[in-house]
Structure formats: C-alpha cells, structure tokens
Amino acid sequence: MKKKIVLLSLIMILVMAVVMPIFAYAANEDVTLEKVKDNVCTIKLGEDGEVIKKLLSVSNEKKEVTLQVEVKNLKSEEEEITPTEMFLVIDNSKSMTDNSLTDGRTRKEAVFSAAKTLVQQILKEQPTSKIGIVSFSSNADVSKEGTLEDANLVIKPTSNEEEITTAIDGIETTGTRTNIDAGLQIAKNNFTTEEALNRYVILLTDGVPNNSVGTSMTYSGETTTNTKNTLKAIIDSKIDIITVMTGVDPTYQPDPDGNVSPEAAGKTYKDLAEEIFGTQEKPNYGKFYYVSDEAVEDTITKEVYNDVKVVVTNEIKDITVVDYFPLDIVENYDFEIFEKENIGEVTPTINKDNNSITWTIETLKAEETASFKYKLKLKEKFNEKIINVETPTNEKVDVTYTGKDGEVKAETSDVTPSIILKKDKTIAPDPIPQTGDSVGIITLIVVTLVIILGVGIYQYRKNNK
C-alpha cells in the first residue's frame, strides 16, 4: 500500500510540473491582438519620391505586428544636353589640308566631319541649343595679319542643323598661320546676352598659336600673353572652354635657336602648347585634349560630346527618416528588424531618449526603392491598461532630404496603423472541458488524482488499525 501512495504522489508532482507553466502563461490566452486601422502613412518628397509606412500583417497566434517602411524615387533617369549656346571655333589654316590621316582623308576632312557629327548629336538631344561657327588662321592679305580679320564669323548661333553643317562645309582654307586669339575673340563677342544659359567655346585646331591680335610675331611672348588673356576673359565671362589640339608633333622645335622668337628657343610644339593651355591632366582653361590625328574624331564625337552632356540622374540625397513610437508600444512590445534595409542604415534598436528609430540614406538613385521590415511583439509581461484600448503603432514620422535644387526640405506625418488587445469578458458560469482545452483537462485530472489519493490514504489507515 505504501508503494501505491508513493506512486500516486510522484504522479501528482509530475502533473503539477506540467500544469504550473500553463497557468503562468494562461493570461495571454484570453487576449486577442487585432488590427483596428490599416492606415498607410505616405509622405511626399516633392515630385521626386515618397516615404510609405504600412502594416503588413497581424498575427494573433504570435501576438506580433509586422510593418514596412520604404522610400521610393519616382523619377526615371533622363539625359539632357545642357549647353543652350556654343561656338565651334575651327582652324582653317593650310596645315589642315596639307596633312592626311592613314585612311587618306585630310586632317580638315576628319575634323570637319567630326564637328558636323557633334552638331547633329547635340541638336538631336536638345533641339533648342544654338550653335555658331567661327573659323580662323591668318588673313590672306598680309597687311591684315595680326588683327581680328584673321578670323571669320561663319554663322551666328542657330538651332538649324542644315544651316550649321552647310556653313562648316563652306569654310575655305586661307592663311598659313594660327591666330587662335582672333578666333576666340570673335566667338566671345557674338554670344547672345541671354541669362541663365550654359555656354561653351569648343576650339578645334592643329597648331600652336603663332600670332595674335596686335602682333604678327611668330611664337612671340606677346602672342602667348595675348592668347592667355583672351582665354581668361572667356572663362571670366562664365563661358566654358574645351580645346582639341590634333596632329601637333610633340618633339618638333619650330625655332630651336630663337632666331624668330627668343621666347620659343629650344621649345617643342608641345612645350609651346602647354605654356598656354596647360597639360591634359592639369589644363589652364577648361578641358584640353592633345591628341593624334587618328584619335581626333573619337575625341570630338565622344569625349567632347560627353563634356557638354549632363546626365540628369534625379537622385534624392541625404534622406533621414525618423520613426517615433508611442510609450505604450515601447513599454509593452519588443522591437525587432527581421528584414534588413537594402539601402542606407537603420538603428537596430529603439532610442529610449525619444522612442524612435532612424533610417539614413545618402543617395537614392532614379527608380530605386529602399525598404526594411520590423516586428512589434507583445511582451510576456505587459501592462493590462492597454487591453481594450486602441494603440497607434507609431506616433509620427519625420523626413528630411536634399532636393535637386540643393535645398534641405522637411516633411512629417502622424498617420499610422493602429492595433488593439481585446479580452473576452463573457465566460460561461460552469465551463465544461472541451477537446483542446488543456487547462480544463489538466484541472480535471488533478482533481481526480487528489480523490484517488485521498481514498488510498483512507484505505491504508483503515487496514492498519
């Protein structure tokens, strides 16, 4: 009989070990987590993008809520040719026809063909651009050499492609020298006075300046100074300069003994060119391409084209999203990021100083979408004051960002999804254990075991009297 009592006691201890934890968590079983409002928080970032925060799901079984925050760049990538007005300043000295490429074309044919292609590319992308043409060398009339008449205004800026290409084809070869100064001055003086225009001078030459306005002394220091002063004046007028110098022998010394010009003594063409324009890596006035004849067409139609083309990427920069939580959420729910942000960086935990998380994105490119997902899970121990009370999942969302105009902008919204914990107060007075009702079943088992144990003890005492 003693063995039976010991066995029954062990069974009771085992049952209680199973039952007690169930009773400890039973408080959550009659609380239901539900969605009250499915509000979607949408914050517009001007016309370029938007921030969207929404409720994805509510799991009553897990007592958790899943939310997503995303930032969208609504713009597509576009390309524009930004210069509205430019001059092609083209060398028409005899060296342009006297030298040929390996394919048999003259240097003039290669450069003029590339110039026409460049015009076509620009006007195709931005038909409102205006392009003018200036030619230069030295005047056929020797008495006019060293004056502005060494250059010629072929056509004023226009958007008519046919007129421009016809004007380029009509340029005739004239003098033997290269008065770049005159060509630059003619171009500078014929830009329109319209404001807020992007303006370019594109200089195409096969020679180093060997005369200038005010002097006809070949390669003189005065020629160098005059040309540099004109280049600087153009830059100061907010006109960008791109220079392509082709086919210039980098080793040839035009005046080795300085008999013509002491300033040129012992200097190569490359030395004289760099004295004015700088190097390709460190140019003095805008961009400077010092190229071979074989590379000149690609340089003009690709490199120069890219220099005057700006890709409008429609990026949104310096985005900061601050998501604030109500105190009831912070105190009663655990926060967890379960799908990490694909762009930028999100603080992994709630900042207890202001009950917020912060998401920073340095750059959001055109058509990109950044997002992350997080959960709010009801804590094992929570304040019962939130039962039957609508609880917003967030307090507000603040957003700052830098627009395309470079200005910092700020937006905010207090629209938020909300949830509620409900507790069923309508309990039957005499609940009957049902299949799956573990508490009721275990309670019945315990009561039965207690009765059996009591009967056993009674019988034991009765038999041992």
Supply the pLDDT for residue 416.
Answer: 94
Same domain for 245 and 348, yes or no, is no
pLDDT at 192: 86
With beta carbons less than 8 A apart as the criterion, state whether 52 and 41 touch: yes
**Final residue of a domain: which of 269, 284, 312?**
312
Supply the pLDDT for residue 282.
95
- Choose the most confident range, by mean pLDDT, from 208-212, 309-313, 436-440: 208-212
The span from the CA of 380 to the CA of 382, in Å, is 6
Mean of per-residue pLDDT scores for the chain = 86
- Is 451 or 423 the better-scoring residue by pLDDT? 423
Edge-to-edge strand ranges of the sheet holding 345-346? 345-346, 356-364, 316-324, 396-402, 408-413
Q: Is residue 428 part of a domain?
A: no
Cβ contact 122:165 at 8 Å: no
258 with 300, same domain? Answer: yes
Q: Do 87 and 50 have their domain in common? A: no
Please indicate, yes or no, whether residues 402 and 356 belong to a single structural domain of this protein.
yes
pLDDT at 4 over 70: no
Range of the domain at 159: 79-312
In terms of domains, do 273 and 335 share one?
Answer: no
Domain closes at, from 312, 329, 358: 312
pLDDT at 435: 40
B/e letters for 199-225, b = 16+ CB within 10 Å, e = fewer, are bbbbbbbbbbbbbbbebbbbbbeebbb
Q: Are 35 and 390 in contact (CB under 8 A)?
A: no
Q: What is the pLDDT of residues 226-258, one digit of tens each?
A: 999 999 999 999 999 999 999 999 999 999 998
CA angle 39, 423, 331 (to 5 degrees): 60
Q: Is-contact 361 343, C-beta < 8 A?
A: yes
DSSP 359-374: EEEEEE-TT-EEEEEE
* Whether residue 167 sits in one domain with residue 52: no
Tokens, residue 156: 């004023």
Lookup: tokens for 18: 């199973």
Over pLDDT 90: what percentage of the chain?
A: 70
> Cα separation of 5 and 452, whole Å?
10
Average pLDDT on 165-185 reads: 94
Highest mean pLDDT among 108-112, 124-128, 380-384: 108-112
* Whole-number pLDDT of residue 439: 47
- The arithmetic mean of pLDDT across residues 291-312, rounded, is 90
Cβ distance 409 to 401 under 8 Å?
Answer: yes
Q: What is the pLDDT of residues 118-142, one digit of tens each?
A: 999 999 988 889 999 999 999 989 8
* Listed range (40-44, 158-162, 232-236, 458-462) with the worst mean pLDDT: 458-462
User: Would you state the pLDDT for residue 217?
Assistant: 76
Predicted pLDDT at 449? 57
Mean pLDDT score, 161-174: 95
Q: Is the pLDDT assigned to residue 216 strictly greater than 80?
A: no
Residue 215 included in any domain: yes
Is pLDDT of 328 > 90?
yes
Is residue 25 located within the same domain as residue 41? no
Give the start-end residues of each E strand in 38-161.
41-45, 49-59, 64-73, 78-81, 85-91, 130-136, 151-158
Query: Quick one: what percent of the chain has pLDDT higher than 70?
Result: 83
Confidence grade of residue 427 (pLDDT, cut at 50, 70, 90):
very low
- Condensed to tens digits (0 to 9), the pLDDT of residues 331-376 reads 999 999 999 999 999 999 999 999 999 999 999 998 999 999 999 9
Q: Is the pLDDT of residue 431 over 90?
A: no
Domain count of the fold of the chain: 3
Together in a domain, 202 and 122: yes
Find, among 275, 179, 185, 287, the residue nearest to 230 by Cα: 185
Residue 50 sits in a domain of what CATH number?
2.60.40.2110
Amino acid letter for position 400: T
The strand ranges marked E within 13-128 are 31-37, 41-45, 49-59, 64-73, 78-81, 85-91
The Cα angle at residue 274 between residues 271 and 276, in degrees rounded to 5: 115
